[in-house]
Amino acid sequence: MAKKKVGLPPLDWLRVFEAAGRLGGFSAAAREFGLTQAAVSQRIGNLEVWLGRSLFVREARGVSLTVEGESYLPLVQDSLQALERNTEDLFGKSPRELRVAGLSSHIHALVLPCLAAFHAERPKVQVTTDSVARRTSLDEERTWLQLRYGRGAWPGRDSALIAPEVLVPMAAPGIEWGTPVIDLRGERPGWREWARQAGEGEPPLTKFSFDSMEHAITAARQGLGIVLGSIPLAAGDLQAGRLRRLDLPELKTKDGYWLTWPEE
């Protein structure tokens, strides 16, 4: 067969050849692409003329790859896969990497418990986290996806609520109401607000005061007192039985945990 042209053959011909070689016949390739067997045969014939080589041996009982066809098939397959992969990476809607930034405690409580299920659904996606020490550091963080705590309004960012912040008295097993409570400083409502809404007297404080919900929950888990704990952040401890909710009113807040991204 004389060589007619040089360079890269039409992609449609290569895709049909790959399917016929992989599936072992023109009929199977025709079914995969929704073509007639004659259309498949014509495309492969055009490819053979282009290359100046026979790629299949035609026999009464079917077709088989020639030596040249067997050598060419893996090259075509690798090239098509690379083209598909790179096209998806550049223009596709299925990301190859999911990168998210946030406070270490938020990543620990809100991201890590979901990883097994996420990996089962998206096994090809690389998950990468970037932890920051302070929430104010997120303003300078270049990672597009960010976990943020607040009311869902940040300049230049869209957001979706992951979980509302709900506070409830919780303690380690064996610690009962009446035990001094752990002080947590910061913007969240504290024991004074909880007591006012619950109609309870303000409970006595322990000698422990924290500026981090993560630290306050850890102290409660160690039996150091009762914490007005975040249900989203303490979910793992509650499910594992390391902490338990006391039979007392919860305190709903206006804040929550949000996944955010740039508006553009």
Mean pLDDT in residue range 9-27: 93
Cβ(62)–Cβ(32) under 8 Å? no
Residue 168, domain extent: 163-260
Tell me, yes or no, whether 36 lies in a domain.
Answer: yes
Tell me, yes or no, whether 6 lies in a domain.
Answer: no
Of the candidates 248, 262, 222, 235, the one whose C-alpha atom is nearest the C-alpha of residue 138 is: 262
Structurally, the chain folds into a number of domains equal to 3
Out of 106, 122, 148, pick the residue that ends a domain.
148
β-pairing verdict for 126-132 and 145-150: unpaired
Mean pLDDT in residue range 238-259: 96
Which pLDDT does position 5 carry in this prediction? 61
The residue with greater pLDDT, 60 or 205, is: 205
pLDDT tens-digit series, residues 32-90:
999 999 999 999 999 999 999 999 999 888 899 999 999 999 999 999 988 887 776 66
My answer on whether 54 and 120 are in the same domain is no
* C-alpha to C-alpha distance for 173 and 34, rounded to whole angstroms: 64
Identity of the amino acid at 246: L
My answer on whether 104 and 80 are in the same domain is no
**Angle made by CA atoms 170, 173, 179, in degrees to the nearest 5:** 60
DSSP reduced 3-state for 75: helix
Which residue is listed with tokens 């997120």?
A: 138
* C-alpha to C-alpha distance for 30 and 19, rounded to whole angstroms: 9
pLDDT above 90: residue 98: no
Identity of the amino acid at 201: G
My answer on whether 251 and 196 are in the same domain is yes
Q: What is the pTM of this model?
A: 0.62
Confidence of residue 4 (pLDDT cuts 50, 70, 90): low
The residue with greater pLDDT, 123 or 182, is: 182
Confidence of residue 93 (pLDDT cuts 50, 70, 90): low
Q: How many CA atoms lie within 13 A of 176 on its CB side?
A: 1
262 Cβ contact partners less than 8 Å away, ≥ 6 residues apart? 144, 156, 157, 158
* C-alpha to C-alpha distance for 17 and 47, rounded to whole angstroms: 8
My answer on whether 179 and 249 are in the same domain is yes
